[in-house]
Amino acid sequence: MIENKRQLRNVFKEVSYSDEEISKKLKETWDAIFVNPATKFYFNAGDDMGYMVDTGNTDIRTEGQSYGMMMAVQMNRQDLFDRIWKWTDTHMRIYEGPHKGYFSWNGTLDGEKIGAGPAPDGEEFFAMALFLASKRWGDKTEKPFNYSEQAKDLLHLCINKGEEGLEGHPMWDPTNYLIKFVPELDFSDPSYHLPHFYEWFAVWANEEDRSFWEKATQASRDFLVKACHTETGMNPEYANYDGTPNDFNGHGDFYSDAYRTIANIGLDSEWFGQREEYAQIAENLLTFFKDIPVEEYKKYKIDGTDTGEKSLHPIGLLATNAMGTLALDNQELTEQVVKQFFETAPREGNRRYYDNCLYFFAVLALSGNYKMNWED
């Protein structure tokens, strides 16, 4: 049985920040996304819906919608959770064809679908956020607010499409239990791997699906170690199932998507215990970046070779590196990285969406507020 009441670390406090400073940081980060007119990228839509805007591309993505739902449930904002979920269910759910039941990965601010298909990182975050909403607030009877049933049905589709008369392709490979970049392609995205979610899916999903999630949990933990370079700790944006870089459309380097991997490793360590392999990955990655100013972050080959191209999301990278300290057993390095992050403000400008989503999750996790359950 998973331990529900695991004591979560407050790393900010460990490195000397006061409760008042930490609370202020959490509020300021929330306000930067949801409240302040100059920086927010969450918006109400009508009387009962809402959306998160990718400010760099001026569209709405399942990534951002699912992130917004996770933020809302962590902060006990059922009103915002329901608004975002209703927009997603109304405007992004696919109702016919091989992707039926999935969500179009992006759409316009007017609610029109753009993407022809789904991106699995959205679906897995939707499922976890919905389960947590059920645990925190209880299921409603009316759809789509019967949270846990929505999550179970979605996960069932994700791993069973192509079988049982379900048209289309699954989001997880049925033979190796690894999440795909998109359902139709046989390679992965290391930053999609969330074994700390899958452990809960193995408890909360439909009973007939739980064995799959148990296997997916271990498969993802093994994969993450393979995907991270043994000296730099970097991973590619896209990877083959053996962990080696896949350069599909030029995404075989350590760049935007890839930053999330160390954050996922950190949260898995926080929720389910540190692992020696994770600690080494974090040590390698954070050591690589410890003497590089944020404004000088670049796009790198996974062996650390500088490609000459600037990082598109340097604040996001700083945030995920800070979150990666949850996997680390090095107090000096932890203190350096966490203090650097704490003293850096959320990003402004048109690229603020992705960076500040990652920033908020890091603040949650490092303050001991990224919770995995509310059951007694």
257 catalytic? Reply is yes
Choose, from 257, 268, 270, 355, the residue flagged as catalytic. Answer: 257
**Residues in CB range of 284: below 8 A, 6 or more apart:** 228, 229, 230, 231, 232, 233
Is the omega angle on the peptide bond into residue 144 within 30 degrees of 0, that is, cis? yes
173 catalytic? Reply is no
Most distant CA atoms of the chain, gap in Å: 57
Write phi, then psi, for 253 (nearest 5 degrees).
-105, 175
Q: Within a 10 A sphere around the Cβ of 257, how many other Cβ atoms? A: 21
3 state SS for 88-113: HHHHCECCCCCCCCCECCEECCCCCE
Choose, from 59, 63, 270, 355, the residue flagged as catalytic. Answer: 63
∠ CA(112), CA(180), CA(226), 5° rounding? Answer: 140
Cα separations in angstroms, 112 against 182, 268, 283: 21, 35, 44
**Active site residues per annotation:** 63, 257
